[in-house]
């Protein structure tokens, strides 16, 4: 496996709309594993293919909602994801991004979302996500459309150490 370079703002590639994934082959499986390794090394909880220079509608997420630091995180692979349902209730919280190092922003997102996608083998899946996981999905799916959190942020700033720790959780 390999750790890939993460593109950073203002690279124009981050503003392009990604293409649908059509081939679920060994090359895709390798890319998925490399994305997980890159995300962990960064470190982050989500990574979209455009962030590593691939115009593919592919997102990887590794996240645990459990407060126990020994809890095993759940891995998500979303291919050609689409948000099909959004709660009316929204929540504003801090977000960071591997493509915008050293900055955070206060972003309003839907409290819960339902995402339809394909898994890494091309099988359909549907995930109902709430709170932080819903925020991660919305953030990563935005990347597939060339949207960055700074486009939605009420304010963007350099975080204090406490704020930086908050967005890692």
Question: What amino acid positions are annotated as catalytic residues?
Answer: 140
Cis before 153 (ω within 30): no
Residue-range domains of the chain with CATH: 17-168 (3.90.45.10)
Kindly give, in sequence order, each residue whose CB lies less than 8 Å from that of residue 147, ignoring residues fewer than 6 positions away: none
Mean pLDDT per 10-residue interval, the chain, length 169 residues: 95 98 98 98 97 98 81 94 98 96 96 98 98 97 98 93 69
Assess contact for 56 and 21: CB atoms under 8 A.
yes
Measured between alpha carbons, how far is residue 162 from residues 5, 7, 158, 166, 169 in Å? 27, 26, 11, 6, 11
Assess contact for 143 and 50: CB atoms under 8 A.
yes
pLDDT at 65: 77
Assess contact for 129 and 113: CB atoms under 8 A.
yes
């Amino acid at each position: 496996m390999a750790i890939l370079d993460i593109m950073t703002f203002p690279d124009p590639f981050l503003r392009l709309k990604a293409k649908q994934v059509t081939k679920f082959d060994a090359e895709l499986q390798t890319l998925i594993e490399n994305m997980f390794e890159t995300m962990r090394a960064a470190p982050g909880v989500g990574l979209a293919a455009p962030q590593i220079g691939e115009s593919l509608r592919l997102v990887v997420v590794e996240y645990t909602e459990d407060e126990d630091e020994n809890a095993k995180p759940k891995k998500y692979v979303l291919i050609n994801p689409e948000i099909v349902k959004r709660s009316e209730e929204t929540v504003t919280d801090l977000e960071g991004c591997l493509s915008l190092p050293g900055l955070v922003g206060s972003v309003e997102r839907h409290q819960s979302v339902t995402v339809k996608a394909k898994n890494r083998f091309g099988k359909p899946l549907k995930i109902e996500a709430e709170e932080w996981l819903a925020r991660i999905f919305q953030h990563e799916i935005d990347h597939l459309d060339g949207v960055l959190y700074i486009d939605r942020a009420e304010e963007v700033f350099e975080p204090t150490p406490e704020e930086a720790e908050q967005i890692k959780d």
